[in-house]
Amino acid sequence: MHAATQSRSRNTILVSAADHGRLSSLARAFLDRVPDMAEDLLAEMDRARVATEAAMPADVVRMGSTVTLQHPEGGIQTVTLVYPAEADIAERRISVLTPLGTALIGARAGGTVSWRSRDSRVLSATIDAVEPSGRVP
């Protein structure tokens, strides 16, 4: 696993079958452009437990979920997890192909995620809340 996310928590992650297929394909498509992040996303998909749509708990971070994070310093951040083409940092929409985005996919409310920033700092946050997307899979 690449240094950008190698420090991420190794908690079990849960991914819907639809997200798993789309994210695995996305990661393979981006291997030439952003190999480190694409490899990290593929590694996450390899270790994920895959569930049917009906079996997905509401508190699991999925594509399109809005996530409220509590940082150790006390800061609160709300972001929406999106595909790269929909990313817009000004709108707090972060790509699943970023270190934080890859750390969030499949995590649950109440859990802590950690990742290595692009400037090599280890960062972490606790997921306070997950608001499911309104999208149809």
Per-residue pLDDT of the chain (137 residues; tens, 9 = 90+): 444 444 444 678 999 999 999 999 999 999 999 999 999 999 999 999 999 999 999 999 999 999 999 999 999 999 999 999 999 999 999 999 999 999 999 999 999 999 988 788 999 999 999 998 755 44
Please give the residue range of the domain that contains residue 45.
14-131
Contacts of 115 (CB under 8 A, 6+ apart): 4, 5, 7, 8, 99, 100, 102, 103, 122, 123, 124
- Using alpha carbons, select from 58, 44, 47 the residue that is nearest to residue 129: 58
Q: What is the pLDDT of residue 2?
A: 45
pTM listed for this prediction: 0.88
Q: Is residue 45 part of a domain?
A: yes
Q: What is the pLDDT of residue 118?
A: 77
Q: Is residue 90 part of a domain?
A: yes
Q: State how many domains the chain has.
A: 1
Distance CA 43, CA 4 (A): 13
Q: Is residue 119 part of a domain?
A: yes
What is the CATH classification number for the domain harbouring 27? 3.10.50.30
Q: Is residue 98 part of a domain?
A: yes
CB 113 within 8 A of CB 103: yes
